[in-house]
Amino acid sequence: MITTITLNPSIDRTLEIERLVVGGMNRVKTKIDHPSGKGINVSRMLNSLGQPTRALAFVGGDSGRWVVNALKAEGIELDCVPVEGDTRTNLKIWAVAEGQGTEVNEPGPAVNQDELDLLLSRVRLEACKWDWVVISGSMLPGTPPDFYATLVTLAKSQGAKVALDASGGALQEGLKALPDLIKPNQVEATELLGWEPRDEAGAIRAVRELMERGISYVLLTLGKDGAFVGHSGQIWQAIAPKVPVKSTVGCGDSTIAGMLHGLRQGVSLEEAIGWAMACGAATATTWGTEPPELDGVKGVLPQVKISRRD
């Protein structure tokens, strides 16, 4: 079982417009709502792959109940930790003419210590049943900066392997607990290392430095330019296939899902990287944060190019 933890879930409302006019009128062509938040996106992709998954998240208010019901309709169990405020709604604006997305994200409701302790008790009780747990996304207001590190340590103590996908201080602190897998993008890698990996040589150096910190799997994603993956002192470069892009939201989450899907199946690391790249690319072809179907992933899987770079 692969479980995901999402401290700050959301309803993602994707609006399609022809061209983004800042300071002017923008008319919506289409609108679609999806249950979201980074961990929930991972669970939805895993579900599309046929991989057993469960989601654990803070939820509150009518919007939180909508997320629960939407995931239930997809066959995904959401273990809810109730909070007083309302689960947030985020806007994702896709401008067709520019081929670019603009995101407007709410901060989410504040959380108190009792609510944090309840989530920790769920992890303490259940983590022994998990193969992997994905801890990802932003933290709610009121969450201690080292809370991801606490979650990583707790899950690992129960025998679960941990994937961490965060940014800023949450990632910096979480890294101290030595998660098994991290998925920084270029900006996040720069924050961690204090220098920017601007080219292939820089990407290889960045992956190597992060592995040297004690991280077993380093998945450095570079958007349309693919990724560099490090494990056991070895480094691979993966080039993603070119696809018609409808939305890039959730592509990184699908990439983690594909990687863990492969690792849990026991395939070679090269094959797992292929699944990661294929899931990310296929997600870019769907509207909003809708995960692609398994056939869509399999359709681009043969187009992924992987080579050793160490």
Task: Give residue-wise pLDDT tens across range 278-308.
Answer: 999 999 999 888 999 999 999 999 999 999 9
pLDDT for 105-158, tens place per residue?
A: 999 999 999 999 999 999 999 999 999 999 999 999 999 999 999 999 999 999
pLDDT for 82-95, tens place per residue?
A: 999 999 999 999 99
Clarify whether 253 is annotated catalytic: yes
192 vs 172: CA distance, rounded Å: 6
3: nearest Cα among 50, 36, 51: 51
227 vs 238: CA distance, rounded Å: 5
Q: Please pick, among 79, 253, 295, 310, the residue that the annotation labels catalytic.
A: 253
The helices-and-strands tally (H runs, E runs) of the chain is 10, 14
* Residue that is written with structure tokens 């689960």 in the block: 87
38: nearest Cα among 135, 179, 163: 135
14 vs 250: CA distance, rounded Å: 12
DSSP line for 161-176: EEEEE--HHHHHHHHT
212 vs 160: CA distance, rounded Å: 22
182 vs 237: CA distance, rounded Å: 16
Q: Report the CATH number at residue 226.
A: 3.40.1190.20
Coil vs helix vs strand at 84: coil
245 vs 294: CA distance, rounded Å: 18
pLDDT for 35-63, tens place per residue?
A: 999 999 999 999 999 999 999 999 999 99
**Assigned token pair, 250:** 């959730």
Which domain covers residue 170, as residue numbers? 2-308
For residue 288, the model assigns a pLDDT of: 86
239 vs 18: CA distance, rounded Å: 30
44: nearest Cα among 72, 7, 16: 72
Domain count, the chain: 1
Q: Tell me the residue type at 267.
A: V
Please state the pTM of the whole predicted model: 0.95
